[in-house]
Chain A
Amino acid sequence: MNRATASLPRSVAAHAILISYTVIALFPVFVILINSFKTRRSIFGAPMMPPTPETFDLVGYRMVLTQGDFLTYFQNSFIVTVASLFFVLLFGAMAAFALSEYRFRGNRLMGLYLALGIMIPIRLGTVAILQMMVASGLVNTLTALILVYTAQGLPLAVFILTEFMSGVSDDLKNAGRIDGLSEYRIFFRLVLPLVRPAMATVAVFTMIPIWNDLWFPLILAPSEATKTVTLGAQMFIGQYVTNWNAVLAALSLAILPVLVLYLIFSRQLIRGITSGAVK
């Protein structure tokens, strides 16, 4: 900020609001993190205190890594998230390109139809989805989850990317056509790189609900071999006794991979934004 537009009271107020929001938003994560390093007794005795030398205990992590097959759970979550993300971005971008680039009968209607999924929660169709998966023999496979999540992510992807793609210069696409590029090359080589910031936005919005989902893994793929991390952490939550050390440790570990993915995409996001603004 420069001196001409800044005023001390105003910037103090702005910072106070933003800092208090940050604290509120990060507080649950913070509590999970500090308590995952504590003994069971001190979790309940003083849940707000950070671990001290007396209360420090890695029992939760030890339990998570020895009991249950957490490496497999992580791998499952990762495969499902990355594969769904790939298909959402690929099909979403292709549909968006068709909707924004080609004039055909029912174009508007098709766009509306594809975006309708934003308004209707996919969970309403759980019973039908389960029946379909049973009929096609996909229960207890990661494929089932990938298919469902791809369907869940597509509407928003199509909606956001259509807007961005119609902003890509027509002249550029036409220059490609005159130079004899195929529509596929125009799409992959000319258009996709230019909408990269939008792709990153869609990726972040799509990825987080998939990683955190408990519903569909529980219903469609609860077997030991196909459990995801969120589902795996549930095994420490019992009806009468809950192993809080292990639950907190599992949740803390589950943050890491998604954080890495987020950092990758948000860097793209920032690079995209600045490269467009500072010509």
Chain B
Amino acid sequence: MGSLNIENVKKSFGQVDVLKGIDLDVADGEFVVFVGPSGCGKSTLLRVIAGLEDATSGRVVIDGRDVSSTPPAKRGIAMVFQTYALYPHLTVKNNMGLGLKQAGTPAAEIDKRVAEASAMLSLEPYLQRRPAELSGGQRQRVAIGRAVVREPSLFLFDEPLSNLDAALRVNTRLEIAQLHRRLRATMIYVTHDQVEAMTLADRIVVLNGGCIEQVGAPMELYNSPANEFVAGFIGSPKMNFIEGARLGESVRTIGVRPEHIAVDPHKGDWKSTVIHAEHLGADTNLYLDCEKAGLITVRLFGVYNAEPGATLYATPDPARTYRFGQDGRRI
């Protein structure tokens, strides 16, 4: 069906090295999410897999076939773009069928596949419309449909939800998850949103500065981050980092997630002053200024009333406190 192997892929634009040697194996049917900050090379890596950019060196193997010099249309892939990228002059039906038509698929077969895909994505009422007559969510569903009809061995998603509003984003995320379960196809998904990464992925690839920082299942990254970068990137609000020296420890940095700190008005490890409280209903974020640890964020479940200026004692959970050495790696 669709496996993907990336072997030592490097990509430079002039003097700038965007990808510095990426190795990755994706098994058939896996949902892999590339996540990282802007400019980390995740979109470039996706484009190299798609064949829209040539790798400077290294190999891309899809289904055991080296496709490094195969044009995008012949790689057995389909791609969904952030800006939908629908053909403005074609109807929804022709938008979905164009790739197959180019590949010389018989018209009856195209009709059948378009009908199947549009039923799956509830697009039937819109088949004769043009993209300009659709809403943002419908357009992205058409773009997904266009990928589905090609029955590719590899689906590539380039930040497909970034242009949608919050409510639609959740719906479409759900649809993509269902689609994956239904088609059992291999999917590569690029995003900078770690919520999308955590909710969709079988495995997450965290990229930073053109290198892979860590590869693992979502909970693996959350519970045992390999280094300071991954620890800070996965989880929201962000992990608190405290200089080791401030707490009298020899390590460079100590990290503890906001949800792994308890507070008490009377006793605890770190005496602190409340700076600000955010009430989200289901949970409360407190920003505390600790005498020992500096500024930290604490996430409490449920409602917790704390006035700015009040004194609280924060206690980190020792079992879930992470220590990072000089090179940023976890000890």
Q: Which residues of A contact B (CB under 8 A)?
A: 169, 171-172, 174-181, 189-190, 193-194, 279
Least distance between A192 CB and chain B CB atoms (Å) = 10
Query: What are 5 of the A-B contact pairs (CB < 8 Å)?
Result: A171-B82, A174-B52, A174-B81, A178-B73, A194-B88
Task: Please give, as numbers and ranges, the residues of chain A lying within 8 Å of B85 by CB-CB distance.
Answer: 169, 171-172, 174-175
Please give me the residue from chain B that is nearest to A177 by CB atom.
B72
> Which residues of chain A are near B73, meaning CB under 8 Å?
177-180
Whole-angstrom CA separation of A176 from B74 in the bound complex: 13
Given A177-B72, A178-B72, A180-B102: A172 and B87 interface contact (C-beta under 8 Å): yes
Q: Is B266 an interface residue (CB 8 A)?
A: no
Residues of B within 8 A of A171 (CB): 81-85, 158
Contact in complex: A189, B89 (CB < 8 Å): yes
Report Cα–Cα, A174/B99, bound state, in Å: 12
Judge whether B77 is part of the interface by a CB distance below 8 angstroms. Answer: yes
A173 to chain B, nearest CB (A): 8
CB-nearest residue of chain A relative to B102?
A180
Q: For the complex formed, measure the closest distance between the CB of B166 and the CB atoms of chain A, giving whole angstroms.
A: 20
User: Which 4 A-B pairs rank lowest in CB-CB distance, beginning with the nearest?
Assistant: A180-B73, A179-B99, A180-B102, A171-B85
Query: A174-B52, A279-B132 are contacts. A179–B82 as well, Cβ < 8 Å?
Result: no
* Residues of B with C-beta under 8 A to A169: 83, 85
Contacts A179-B73, A190-B87, A193-B89 aside, 20 further interface pairs with beta carbons under 8 A come to A169-B83, A171-B83, A171-B85, A172-B86, A174-B47, A174-B50, A174-B52, A174-B81, A174-B85, A175-B85, A175-B86, A175-B146, A177-B71, A178-B50, A178-B52, A178-B77, A179-B98, A179-B99, A180-B71, A180-B74
Note all chain B residues with C-beta closer than 8 A to A178. 50, 52, 72-73, 77-79, 99
Residue of B nearest to A182 (CB): B102
Q: Are A177 and B52 also in contact (CB < 8 A) when A171-B82, A172-B85 are?
A: yes
B167 on interface, CB distance cutoff 8 Å: no
Chain B residue contacts of A175, Cβ below 8 A? 79, 81, 85-87, 146
- The secondary-structure label for the interface of chain A is helix
Shortest distance between the CB of B207 and any CB in chain A (Å): 20
Please judge, given known A-B contacts A175-B79, A175-B81, whether A180 and B103 are in contact too, CB under 8 Å.
Answer: yes
Residue among B81, B89, B103 with max Cβ neighbours from chain A (10 Å): B81
Instruction: State the CA gap A172–B158 with chains docked (Å).
Output: 13
Bound CA–CA A179/B87 (angstroms) = 11
> What chain B residues lie within 8 Å of A180 (beta carbons)?
71, 73-74, 99, 102-103
A220 to B103 CA separation, bound complex (whole angstroms): 51
A181 to B101 alpha-carbon distance, docked (Å): 10
Residue of A nearest to B158 (CB): A171
A178 vs B157: C-alpha distance when bound (angstroms): 13
Within 8 A of A (CB), among B56-80: 71-74, 77-79
For A174, A175, A190, which residue has the most chain B Cβ atoms within 10 angstroms?
Answer: A175
Q: How far is the CA of A171 from the CA of B82 in the complex (A)?
A: 8
What is the bound-complex CA distance between A178 and B86, given in angstroms? 12
Residue of A nearest to B83 (CB): A171
Looking at A176, A178, A179, A194, which has the most chain B CB atoms within 10 Å of its CB? Answer: A178
| A190 CA / B86 CA spacing, docked (Å) | 10
* A residues near B83, Cβ cutoff 8 Å: 169, 171-172
Residues of chain B within 8 A of A179, CB atoms compared: 73, 98-99, 102, 146
Q: Which of A181, A193, A279 contacts B102 (CB 8 A)?
A: A181
A95 CB to nearest chain B CB (Å): 23
What sequence of 0s and 1s flags, for each residue 93-130 of chain B, a beta carbon within 8 Å of any chain A beta carbon? 00000110011000000000000000000000000000
Distance in Å: Cβ of A218 to nearest Cβ of chain B:
44
Bound CA–CA A189/B94 (angstroms): 14
Closest CB in chain A relative to B118 CB, distance in Å: 17
B6-26 Cβ-contact flags toward A at 8 Å (1 or 0): 000000000000000000000
Measured CB to CB, the closest approach of chain A to B190, in angstroms, equals 13
- Tell me which of A171, A189, A190 has the highest count of chain B C-beta atoms within 10 A of its own C-beta: A171
Q: Which residue of B lies closest to A275 (CB)?
A: B132
User: Could you tell me the distance between the alpha carbons of A177 and B50 in the complex, rounded to whole angstroms?
Assistant: 10
Q: Which residue of B lies closest to A174 (CB)?
A: B52
Residue of A nearest to B97 (CB): A179
Closest beta carbon of chain A to B44's beta carbon, Å: 13
Residues of B within 8 A of A174 (CB): 47, 50, 52, 72, 79, 81, 85
B188 CB to nearest A CB, Å: 14
A179 to B152, CA, bound (A): 11
B160 to chain A, nearest CB (A): 11
**Pair A193/B82 contact, Cβ less than 8 Å:** no
| Chain B residues positioned under 8 Å from A279 (CB to CB) | 132
A193 and B78 form a contact (CB under 8 A): no
What A residues does B99 contact at CB under 8 A? 178-180
Question: In whole Å, how far is A189's beta carbon from the nearest beta carbon of chain B?
Answer: 7
Q: Which residue of B lies closest to A189 (CB)?
A: B89
